[in-house]
Structure formats: C-alpha cells, structure tokens
Amino acid sequence: MCDEFYKKLEELRKQNALFVEATVVRREVPSSGKSGDKAIIDRFGEMTGWIGGGCVKGIALKEAEDAMKTGKARLVRIGTPSSVEKQDGVVEYKMTCMSEGTVEIFLEPVLPAPHLVVIGKTLIAKALVQMAKAAGYRVTAVAPDAKPTTFEKVDELITQMNLDRVAVSAASSIVVCTQGENDEEALEMVLAQPSFYKGFVASPKKKTALFNNLVQQGFDKDKIDIIHSPAGIDINAKKPEEVAISILAEIIQEQNKVHATGFTQFTTTNTAKPAPQYYVNPVCGILVDMNNPKHVVEYNNEKVYFCCDGCKLQFDAAPEKYMKSPLAESVLK
C-alpha cells in the first residue's frame, strides 16, 4: 500500500494536479484506521491508500471535495460527538460504523500552481513571464519562431500560434501580448479556450477596432466582451515591468473571485472508470458512490445504498423511519 501511495503522490505532483492528502492523526480502538495511515484523494474522487472504510471513507471523500473547493485544510473527527464548543477548522461526525471507536483525519489540499499562458514575445510578454514565475505560476509561452533563450525560466514553450497541445483549463489565465503581430489570430484562438481570465494588451482604440472586426466575422460578442482590455489594473504603468505587474494583479484579483465561489469540484471526466454517481445514505447522510457501495438494499422498489454494515443494520431495523427522513430525498448525481 505504501508503494502505491507514493507512486500516486509522485504521479499527481508531476501532473501539477489538484489532490488532497489524508492522514490519520489519532485513533481510538476499535476503529480500523490507525495513526499514520495515509491516503490520497484526487479530483475524480478516487482514493489511493487506506485511512479506514465504511463511513470513514465516505466522510473523507465528502470533506476532501470541500477542501478542494475552498483550498482549506481541516481536521475531521469521526466518533462520539465532542462536548466542547465547535472549533474552527475541526469538523465532527458521529461514527455509525459497527467498528465504533474514534478516528481523526487531517485533510490537506495540495493545490496546483496557477497556470498562465502568455502569447507574444514583446517586452511586456517577457516581463509578464518573469513576474509570473516569481509569483509561483506555471507559465506557458506561445510565440512563433521563439527560441529557448527568448523567455526566462518558462515552463513550456510553444513556437507556433497554436494551443492544441497546451492543457488550458477553466483554472488557466491567458494574456495576449502580441502588440501588432498576429493580434487577431491570437484573439480568435483565445476565444475558444475555457480560461477564467483572458487579457489583451492594447490601446482602447485598437481594442475597439479589433473587437468590432471579430463581431463582424461572427464571433460571439458576449465572449469577446469578457476579454480584459486594456489588460491590467490601471496604475498608470509606463514600463513593460509595470504593465506586467498591473496584469498579474488583475489576474490575481479575478482568480480570488473564482476561489471565493468554489475552487473546483470532483470532475466526471475520468474515462478510466465510471463517473461517480452519489447517493445520500439515509442513515448517516454520507455520500455513497452507487458504482461502489458497501451494501445495496431494495425497499419499496427503490435501491438504497449504504457505506457500511452499521448503517445497513440500522436501516434494516426501521426502514420506514429512514425512508421518511429528509436525507432519503437527497440524491446527488
């Protein structure tokens, strides 16, 4: 299990992927998770390693998703509810598994470096690459005929006006710094990307002329209007380095708006296995992946999914009670 854990850890770090590292930090027998047990939960909701089964696994998946959304770590305590006041950063759940006991798990989101795509090889483009690298960004530079020495410490260099091989996502930002060289081609390419921030370095007059031309060609005006141009916060910048600082500040500002409404969610684009379909266990309220439940019971022609033996036994003893609860009506797909 250790080899599998560290192999997955190395793989996700190389991919610059989002994931949560879960560690059992305290345990009271007879819970199955032991202090020091570790697991990785990736953005697909797939767990590698061991921190416990049943309710513990379901709770860890639920809290890991929230940790990825918010970027905030938390201590999850599963057992007998504490008598002390609620503590900041500590989430408590009642243990419903038959094993009983108590387990405390620390969930730490490992956030990927933010991704910036800079198009063009102008002085502003070079300064923006340099500033972004200093700020911890993973930077892709796109510039026809660029050389390895054109940019300083760029992570990825594309020497054609093409983003087909660049992993642009909704968490990426793109800035067009072409300044008269392939401006329209670059903007057309950027409009097709899912990035949360799109910026174009240009004067207001040039921006208006190019944007109007794109609309006349049939491009979506709403998508064009989202482009930040002139790119950057107005700080009366003059030098290329000052312009780069203003652009990076605007990207950070927009990025923090995105994070405030939810950094990410478990995605369903993993083609290696069926996408998770979540059902709320009517006994404990924990999400159960319907592709991989501990137990399935059919009650009144409806399938009910459980995360552990304890929840199934409680349900079997009083099914009507649980099927009438509000939890029974909550099914997440």
State the Cα–Cα distance between residues 45 and 59, nearest whole angstrom.
Answer: 12
Fold for domain 115-260?
A: Rossmann fold (3.40.50)
Q: Where in the chain is the domain with CATH 3.40.50.720?
A: 115-260
The whole-model pTM stands at: 0.67
260-283: burial string, b at 16+ Cβ within 10 Å, e else: eeebbebeeeeeeeeebebbbbbb
Confidence of residue 270 (pLDDT cuts 50, 70, 90): low
pLDDT at 323: 82
> Please, which pLDDT band fits residue 275 given cuts at 50, 70 and 90?
low
Residues 53-79: pLDDT tens digits? 777 888 898 899 889 888 899 999 988
**Of the ranges 55-59, 117-121, 281-285, 292-296, the best mean pLDDT one:** 117-121
